[in-house]
């Protein structure tokens, strides 16, 4: 390997953010036709490494070379021109432009100096068809759901005639069928077209399905760099979490290992009957105190809209809702909160975090009045103490005083979960609660949610696209499909991934 220097090679990469070494001399190489799975805990420096390789940030030290030739990348353009195409962790397409304009952004086709709109439209149509994306390429991208945007972003990256693809958690918003499709694409691109692909992903099953080599990053250092065949899932999990794999478990093992007794259903807390609005055709369901209710459904099936309707973000056209035995008409998020409902959004960047405020303020935002004298004078000490306590529970890594946007993606998600806890809610509505969270903490969160229900008698409703997650966290499961939910619950204990998938498609 040492004599052959084809491919993309980074050596001794050091990156410092506010005095802290985020990458401590990382070396990694990527050859044509190879898929590297890059794993690591939240804040390990995966995204930062990827940004160094794509020219988006400049490392303090280290060398990057392509086929033996040393390079200095000063901008993302540099990398693009060398055939390196990147999908960043945060959705990076522009909602105000059309699908076509997004696909060609920065690489527009022209005819005699002017835009070749017709040509671009045709390519865009082909490309979206190839990815089974049913979109009108002349529409603004913002009109489409997150999953569509994420798939489109992958499509865009592959379309750019790249030799290397860098992908940062590209599957977080996708549903299982789309994930399969994505993995098949990765295989095709690497094996048939000879692309070198670096894939950051927290899901072991996905990595093992496509990666040739696994690199595990821990606290800015490479802990494992080995062929996929020679390293076990347990070893990786152990390296990342610092705990033996048996207590943590890889994602799919959690289901099998679940042995906590499920408590008998308590009182009915939330009862929804025949709820209808522009996004929901007919939704009925019942949630009990002391239980975790999992909502499974495909993207666009109305799950997200259902949660949002419950907190007053969608109109109720007909149907009835009962909360704690009394009729409930959702008015506003503030009202829902007063009644003990806490909500976690699916899109943290859009209506979750306040990017430029520190994580303490972000965590205690809804209950900031609690930490003030007579509701007027803030008591910063108490506020900080409380915020830190909730964030410790969620194991947030990174600065608590810096803008929350400077935390790694998974840690931002944990701050939002801390915000849910801070509300001392009686009912939790969580939309994709572990989006971007690393394996260790994910299991921890599942455990915590189960404990909140079982021990404190809370009602927890979890929406998730991951079958494993639904099965791991929920006592009961309902299926959403095409805006319908019959209210028929099944016990999670007896279900498999395939059962859920089948139910969602054939309901």
Ligand X SMILES: Nc1ncnc2c1ncn2[C@@H]1O[C@H](COP(=O)(O)OP(=O)(O)OP(=O)(O)O)[C@@H](O)[C@H]1O
Which strand ranges, in their side-by-side order, compose the sheet holding 196-200? 84-87, 164-168, 196-200, 35-40, 213-218, 221-227
Helix (H, G, I), strand (E, B) or coil at 84: strand
Q: Which residues contribute to the site for ligand X (CB under 6 A)?
A: 17-18, 22, 40, 42-48, 89, 398, 406-411, 436, 438
Which one, 198 or 323, has the nearer CB to another protein? 198
Q: How far apart are CA 240 and CA 219, in angstroms?
A: 9
Q: How far apart are CA 330 and CA 137, in angstroms?
A: 36
Q: How far apart are CA 237 and CA 251, in angstroms?
A: 10
Q: How far is the CB of 494 from another protein (least distance, A)?
A: 18
Which one, 70 or 356, has the nearer CB to ligand X? 356
| One of 80, 321, 342, 492 touching another protein (CB under 8 A) | 80
First to last CA, the chain: 53
Q: Report what 22 binds from Mg ion, ligand X, another protein, none; CB cut-off 5-8 Å by kind.
A: ligand X
Q: Report what 317 binds from ligand X, Mg ion, another protein, none; CB cut-off 5-8 Å by kind.
A: none
Instruction: Point out which span in 334-342, 374-382, 408-416, 427-435 binds Mg ion (CB under 5 A).
Output: 408-416
Strand partners, 17: 20
DSSP sequence for 285-317: EEEETT-EEEEEE-TTSSHHHHHHHHTTSS---
Residues 6+ away with beta carbon under 8 Å from 363: 387, 390, 391, 415, 418, 419, 422
Q: What is the Cβ-side half-sphere exposure of residue 187, based on CA atoms within 13 angstroms? A: 11
Q: How far is the CB of 395 from ligand X (least distance, A)?
A: 12
| One of 47, 98, 309, 345 touching Mg ion (CB under 5 A) | 47
Residue 409 interacting with Mg ion (CB under 5 A)? yes
Residues in 332-371 that interact with another protein by CB under 8 A: none
| One of 293, 299, 407, 470 touching another protein (CB under 8 A) | 299
Which one, 176 or 253, has the nearer CB to another protein? 176
Q: How far apart are CA 368 and CA 383, in angstroms?
A: 7
**478, 489, 425, 348 alpha-carbon torsion, rounded to 10°:** -10
Which one, 57 or 268, has the nearer CB to ligand X? 57
Strand partners, 425: none
Which one, 99 or 441, has the nearer CB to ligand X? 441
Q: How far is the CB of 298 from another protein (least distance, A)?
A: 7
Q: How far is the CB of 216 from ligand X (least distance, A)?
A: 11
Which one, 47 or 241, has the nearer CB to another protein? 47
| One of 71, 115, 231, 402 touching another protein (CB under 8 A) | 115
Residues 6+ away with beta carbon under 8 Å from 397: 41, 42, 43, 407, 408, 411
Q: How far apart are CA 456 and CA 300, in angstroms?
A: 32
Q: Report what 126 binds from ligand X, another protein, Mg ion, none; CB cut-off 5-8 Å by kind.
A: none
Strands 164-168 and 84-87: parallel
Strand partners, 129: none
Q: How far apart are CA 408 and CA 263, in angstroms?
A: 36
Which one, 89 or 465, has the nearer CB to Mg ion? 89
In the stretch 156-185, what mask flags binding to another protein with x, by CB under 8 A? --------------------xxx-xx-xx-
Q: Report what 145 binds from ligand X, Mg ion, another protein, none; CB cut-off 5-8 Å by kind.
A: another protein
Binding residues with Mg ion: total (CB under 5 A): 4
Residue 101 interacting with another protein (CB under 8 A)? yes
Distances (CA, A) of 33 to 8, 70, 373, 418: 12, 21, 62, 42
Which one, 255 or 408, has the nearer CB to Mg ion? 408
Residues 6+ away with beta carbon under 8 Å from 99: 124, 128, 135, 136, 137, 138, 139, 141, 144, 152
In the stretch 258-287, what mask flags binding to another protein with x, by CB under 8 A? --------------------xx--------
Which one, 338 or 502, has the nearer CB to another protein? 502
- Under the rule (CB under 5 A), what is the footprint of Mg ion? 47, 89, 408-409
- Under the rule (CB under 8 A), what is the footprint of another protein? 54, 56, 75-77, 80, 86, 88, 92-97, 101, 104-108, 110, 113-115, 117, 125, 132, 134-139, 143-145, 176-178, 180-181, 183-184, 278-279, 298-302, 305, 481-483, 498, 501-502, 504-507
């Amino acid at each position: 390997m040492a004599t052959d220097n084809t491919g993309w090679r980074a050596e001794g990469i050091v990156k410092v953010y506010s005095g802290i070494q985020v990458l401590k001399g990382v070396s990694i190489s990527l050859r044509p036709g190879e898929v590297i799975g890059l794993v690591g805990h939240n804040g390990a420096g995966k995204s930062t490494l990827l940004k160094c390789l794509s020219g988006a940030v400049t490392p303090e030290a280290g060398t990057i070379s392509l086929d033996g030739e040393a390079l200095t990348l000063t901008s993302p353009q540099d990398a693009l021109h060398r055939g390196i195409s990147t999908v960043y962790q945060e959705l990076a397409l522009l909602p105000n432009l059309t699908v076509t304009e997004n696909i060609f952004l920065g690489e527009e086709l022209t005819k005699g100096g002017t835009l070749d709109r017709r040509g671009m439209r045709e390519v865009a149509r082909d490309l979206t068809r190839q990815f089974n994306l049913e979109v009108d390429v002349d529409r603004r991208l913002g009109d489409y759901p997150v999953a569509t945007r994420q798939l489109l972003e992958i499509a865009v990256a592959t379309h750019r005639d790249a030799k290397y693809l860098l992908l940062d958690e590209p599957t977080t918003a996708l549903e299982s069928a789309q994930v399969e499709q994505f993995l098949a694409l990765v295989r095709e691109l690497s094996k048939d077209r000879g692309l070198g692909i670096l894939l950051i992903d927290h899901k072991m099953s996905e990595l093992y399905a496509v990666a040739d080599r696994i690199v595990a990053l821990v606290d800015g250092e490479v802990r494992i760099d080995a062929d996929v065949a020679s390293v076990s899932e347990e070893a990786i999990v152990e390296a990342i979490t610092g705990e033996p794999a048996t207590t943590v478990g890889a994602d799919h093992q959690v289901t099998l290992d679940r042995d906590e007794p499920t408590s008998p259903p308590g009182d009915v807390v939330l009862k929804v009957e025949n709820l209808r609005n522009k996004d929901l055709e007919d939704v009925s369901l019942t949630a009990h105190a002391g239980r975790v209710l999992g909502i499974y459904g495909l993207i666009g099936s109305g799950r997200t809209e259902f949660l949002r309707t419950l907190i007053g973000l969608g109109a109720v056209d007909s149907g009835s809702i009962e909360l704690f035995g009394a009729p409930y008409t959702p008015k506003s998020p503030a009202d829902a909160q007063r009644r003990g409902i806490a909500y976690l959004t699916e899109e943290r960047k859009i209506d979750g975090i306040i990017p430029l405020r520190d994580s303490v303020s972000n965590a205690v935002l809804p209950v900031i009045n609690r930490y003030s004298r007579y509701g007027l004078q803030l008591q910063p000490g108490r506020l900080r103490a409380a915020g830190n306590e909730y964030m410790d529970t969620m194991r947030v890594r990174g600065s608590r005083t810096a803008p929350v946007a400077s935390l790694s993606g998974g840690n931002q998600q944990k701050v939002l979960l801390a915000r849910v806890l801070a509300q001392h809610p009686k009912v939790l509505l969580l939309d994709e609660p572990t989006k971007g969270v690393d394996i260790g903490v994910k299991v921890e969160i599942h455990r915590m949610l189960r404990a909140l229900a079982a021990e404190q008698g809370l009602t927890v409703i979890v929406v998730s696209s991951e079958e494993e997650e639904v099965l791991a966290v929920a006592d009961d499961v309902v299926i959403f499909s095409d805006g319908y939910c019959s209210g028929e619950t099944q016990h999670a204990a007896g279900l498999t991934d395939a059962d859920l998938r089948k139910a969602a498609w054939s309901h």
